[in-house]
Amino acid sequence: MPKKEYRKKGFGTQIVNKIIELARKESIKYLKIEVNKDQDISNAFWSSFEFEFSSKNRNIYKLKIF
């Protein structure tokens, strides 16, 4: 989790958008990340990209690219 002074600056959003763009170019079907499910701020961040919790493991977010 970034320090408070670095949050809401758009850095994380830019990085994730670039990763999603590169994944699409490489025809990657899914992106998965492991998170601490009890951190509301990070959960809101990942949900904003339409990542969803995996049904098998509540600590894994998954985003379908294709």
Model pLDDT, residue 55 = 65
pLDDT tens, residue by residue, 14-55:
999 999 999 999 999 999 988 887 888 888 888 898 888 776
Position 37, amino acid:
K
Q: Please state, in angstroms and rounded to a whole number, the distance separating the CA atoms of residues 38 and 30.
A: 23
The three-class DSSP label of residue 45 is helix
Q: Is the pLDDT of residue 6 over 90?
A: no
Q: Is the pLDDT of residue 1 over 80?
A: no
Q: Please state, in angstroms and rounded to a whole number, the distance separating the CA atoms of residues 64 and 5.
A: 31
The 8-class DSSP code of residue 42 comes to: H
